[in-house]
Amino acid sequence: MSALPLNGVVVLEFSQYLSGPSAALRLADLGARVIKIERPNTGDAGRKLAIKDLWVDDNSLLFHTINRNKESFTADLKNPEDISIIKKLIAKSDVLIHNFRPDVMGKNGLDYKTVQQINPRLIYAEISGYGKNGPWKNKPGQDLLLQSITGLAYTTGNGTNGPVPFGISIADILAGSQLVQGILGGLIRRSKTGKGALIEVSLMESLLDFQFELLTTYFANNEQPLRSKVANGQPLLSAPYGIYQTKDSYIALAMMDIHVLADTIHCGALKHFPKENAFALRDEIKTVLVEHLQTETTAYWLAALQEAGLWAMEVLNWDEMTDHPGYNALEMEQTIHAGGKTIVTTRCPIRINGQRLTADKAAPQLGEQNEKIRKELEVIS
C-alpha cells in the first residue's frame, strides 16, 4: 500500500523482548519507519530467546516474528558520543518507545522531561511492569508473574484445579496494543495542538483492564468470581458455557437456553434443571453434559446444534485450523526471507480500505543500519 497512514512517521524503539517491540511492529505495519536502538555486541535480549530452540541466522525465531520491518542502530547509552547521536535522532523523530524499568532512561539522560526539551513535539511512550510508584514498581515485569499477581490465573482452568496461566504472553501483547492506541491518540492531539505527549502503560494495568468484567462484578458484590468445577469457560457465565469432550474430539458450547439445548441433543436429564438456575447449578448441569456429549461425535452434535441456531463450534488444533477454508479465506500468513531461510508468519490483522497490510522486510541484523543512519544525521546537521 503506497499511502499507509503512518508514512513519514519516525519511531525510535528502545525495547526488548515482547511488549515494546510488538507495539513498534504494529506502527511499522501502519507505515512508520522504526529504528530499533540496541546495545552494541548483544542487542535486544530477545535476539537470544529461542522458541523451541528455533533459530534464524544468529537470532531466535521469536526475535524475527516481532522485529520484522525495522532498522537497527547500536548505541552505548553510557557513552557520551553515542548519547549525542541518539539525541540528534530524537530531534528528528516523532515517537520514542521504551519498556525499561522506570529509572533506566532517566539515568541515561533520556527521561521525558529531558527529551521534551530536545523535541517538544515528541510522543514519548513507555511500558513498565507495575507503574512508576508503589511498592511493586521495581518487581520484574515478566508476563507469567503479572498473570499471577493480578488474579488472571484464576480465570482459566477448572475450579478443581490450581491457578492456570494463559498459554501466551497476554500481558505483553495487550500492553503493546494499548501503547499503540495511546501513541496514535498522541499523534492526533499533536496534529491539533503541535504539542508532544507522555504516554504511559503498565503490564499490570493492562491485565486489570483485561479483567474489567470480572473486577466490576467483584467490586459490586465483594465476592471472588469462582470458576466452574467442570468445563470452565468464563467464571461469570452460566451453563453450558465451556468446552466438552465428545466421542472423537471436543466441542465448545457458548451461551444458550439449557432447555432448548436439552431438546436439540435429546438430553432429558437437562430438563430437570430450572432455566433460572443455569448459573447456580452450573456444575451439576455441566456434569450431565460431560457424560451425554461423549456418546456421539463432534460432527454429529454440531449438525444438530447449528441447525437449531445454537452457538457451538468444533475445537481445532493448529493443523486442523490452517487446513480449514475459513482460515485460508483470511489470508493471515505472510512470508519473509532471512538468513537464507523462509519464515512464514502472521500479517497485521488490520485492513485499510479492504487492503491487507503486509511487510516482507526481515528483522535487521544488529547494527545493520548504523552507517546509513549516521550519514543521514551528517546531512541534516
Cα separation values, 215 from 18, 28, 33, 153, 353, Å = 26, 34, 38, 14, 37
Query: Structural domain boundaries of the chain?
Result: 10-210+350-380
Residue 254, number of CB atoms within 10 A of its CB: 14
Q: Which of 29, 94, 111, 172 is catalytic?
A: 172
84 to 39, 88, 89, 287: CA distances (angstroms): 15, 6, 9, 67
Q: Please tell me whether the overall predicted TM-score, pTM, comes out greater than 0.85 for this model.
A: yes
Rg (CA), the chain: 25
**One-letter amino acid of 225:** P
Residues 6+ apart with CB under 8 A from 72: 35, 36, 38, 43, 364, 365, 366, 367, 368, 369, 370
Question: Is 172 a catalytic site residue?
Answer: yes
Fold of the domain built from segment(s) 10-210+350-380 = Rossmann fold (3.40.50)
Distances in Å between the Cα of 83 and the Cα atoms of 73, 94, 112, 140, 366 are: 12, 18, 15, 26, 18
Per-residue pLDDT of the chain (381 residues; tens, 9 = 90+): 568 999 999 999 999 999 999 999 999 999 999 999 999 999 999 999 877 788 988 899 999 999 999 999 999 999 999 999 999 999 999 999 999 987 889 999 999 999 999 999 999 999 999 999 999 998 999 999 999 999 999 999 999 999 999 999 999 999 999 999 999 999 999 999 999 999 999 999 999 999 999 999 999 999 998 999 999 999 999 999 999 999 999 999 999 999 999 999 999 999 999 999 999 999 999 999 999 999 999 999 999 999 999 999 999 999 999 999 999 999 999 999 998 899 999 999 999 999 999 998 999 999 999 999 999 998 754
